[in-house]
Amino acid sequence: MTADLTVKADPVALRRRRALAPSRGGRPWTFYVLAALFTLYVIALYGPMVCIYILSFQDVRGGLVFPMRGTSLHWFVDLFTQVRTGDVKGAFSRSIRLAVVVTIITVVVSFMSGLAFRRRFAGDTVVFYLMIGSLVAPGLVLGIGVGLICNTLGIEASWYSTALGAQLSWTLPFGVLVMFAVMSRLNNAWEEAARDLGATAWQTTFLVIIPILAPGLVAVALFGFTLSYDEFTRTLLTAGSLNTLPLEIWSMTLNVTSPSLYALGTVTTLISFIIIGVCLSSIARIQKRRAVGPGAH
Give the residues lining the site for another protein (CB under 8 A). Answer: 187, 189-190, 192-200, 203, 207-208, 211-212, 214, 290-291, 294-297
The CB-based long-range contact list for 93-100 (8 Å cut-off, 24+ gap) reads 94/159, 94/242, 94/243, 94/244, 94/245, 95/229, 95/244, 95/245, 95/246, 96/229, 97/160, 98/159, 98/160, 98/163, 98/164, 98/167, 98/228, 98/244, 99/224, 99/225, 99/228, 99/229, 100/225
- 134 touches 173 (CB < 8 A): yes
CB of 293 to another protein, least distance (A): 8
Distance of closest approach, residue 214 Cβ to another protein, in angstroms: 8
CB of 260 vs another protein, minimal distance in Å: 47
Query: What sign for the dihedral angle of Cα 119, 219, 214, 104?
Result: negative
Q: How far is the C-alpha of 4 from the C-alpha of 16, rounded, in Å?
A: 25
CB of 208 or CB of 236, closer to another protein: 208
Q: Among residues 34 and 207, whose Cβ is nearest to another protein?
A: 207
Residue closer to another protein, measured from CB, 213 or 239: 213
Between 93 and 200, CB nearer to another protein: 200
Tell me the sheet residues that pair with 187. Answer: none
Provide, rounded to whole angstroms, the least separation between the CB of residue 190 and another protein.
5
**Minimal distance in Å, beta carbon 278 to another protein?**
21
Q: Quick one: 77 or 197, whose CB is closer to another protein? A: 197
Distance, in Å, from the CA atom of 3 to the CA atom of 164, rounded to the nearest integer, reads 83
Rounded least distance, CB 197 to another protein, Å: 4
Q: Exposed, middle or buried: residue 178 (CB in 10 Å: 0-12, 13-18, 19+)?
A: buried
Is the Cβ of residue 131 or residue 286 nearer to another protein in the bound state?
286
How far apart CA 260 and CA 245 sit, in angstroms, is 14
